[in-house]
Amino acid sequence: MSPELPHWSRRRFLGAGAVVSAAVALGACNLDRGSSPDESAREGGPTDGWSGERLDPPWTKPDVTFTDLDGAPFPFAERTAGKLSLLFFGYTNCPDICPVYLSTLASAREAIGTGPGSRPDVYFVGVDLARDTPEVVQAYLANIDPTFQGLTGSEEVIAEALAAIYAPPVELGEPDADGSYEVGHPSWVTVYQAEDDRAHRRYPYGVRQQDWVKDLPRLAAGEST
């Protein structure tokens, strides 16, 4: 059986024409074997009492209009104005990083229970346009946390949104004999705060549930330094 994705015959960069700023280096080897994600976060993490990396100057929101899972336009900056908003780019065929990260966030929300930081808006942007259909994303998020909101968009919209978080374009791998292919996507969650609608921190993969439980109330309370 030949793959049904002829236009992805080689590694390809979605929206490669978009202007992309230099990515902020996370540091390689954050995920050494033999250490759990928890340990790597602790070892490589900042020492200022926060688990997220400080963004200085803070980042503005992507000025793009995504599409929500009902097919309606979702102007991101406008719809998230004045709300603590967490933004993650992933794909539903992502075997471990995406579900682990999203499940960690879901469990942190549950652990906080009520009060400040317990109800951040969590947005998952499916970047694998061929497979991340609204139905698939809906079912995927329902299995993790039904309050998480799924978004999609055209190649151009996603490329522009990625540029706003200083991430390279989505990378689609070459399909294997079964038509499966890998997708390169940013591994961090960007946190936009309610007071100024800017991101002062981003959270790399590996941040522990208990660290989110500590940081989310502070983020909700408007702390940033």
Partner 1 sequence: MPRPTSALLPAALALVGLALAGCSTDGDPIEASGSLRVVGASVAVPPNPTQASVSLTIDNGTDRPDTLLGVSSPASAAASVHRSEIDERGVATMAPVDELVIPARSRVVFEPGGLHVMLDRLAEPLVAGDAVELTLTFAEAGAHTLTVPVVAPGATPNETEHDLHVP
Q: How far is the CB of 171 from partner 1 (least distance, A)?
A: 7
Interface positions, 83-112, toward partner 1 (CB under 8 A):
92-97, 99-100, 102-103, 107
> Which of 16, 24, 81, 111 touches partner 1 by CB under 8 A?
24
178 binds partner 1 (CB under 8 A): yes
> Nearest-CA neighbor of 88 among 182, 187, 9, 173?
187
- Measure the CA–CA gap between 207 and 42, rounded to whole angstroms: 8
> Nearest-CA neighbor of 163 among 72, 69, 64?
64
Q: Which stretch binds partner 1 (CB under 8 A): 20-28, 67-75, 153-161, 211-219?
A: 20-28
21 binds partner 1 (CB under 8 A): no
Q: Which helix (H) or strand (E) holds 123?
A: strand 121-126
Q: How far is CA 199 from the centre of its chain?
A: 13
Q: How far is the CB of 181 from partner 1 (least distance, A)?
A: 10
115 binds partner 1 (CB under 8 A): no
206 binds partner 1 (CB under 8 A): yes
- How would you label 48-84 residue by residue, b for 16+ Cβ within 10 Å and e otherwise? eebbbbebeeebebbebbbbebeeeebebbebbeeeb
* Tokens linked to 146: 């039904």
171 binds partner 1 (CB under 8 A): yes
Binding footprint of partner 1 on the chain (CB under 8 A):
23-34, 36-37, 40, 92-97, 99-100, 102-103, 107, 136, 139-141, 143-144, 167-168, 171, 173, 176, 178, 180, 182, 184-188, 204-206
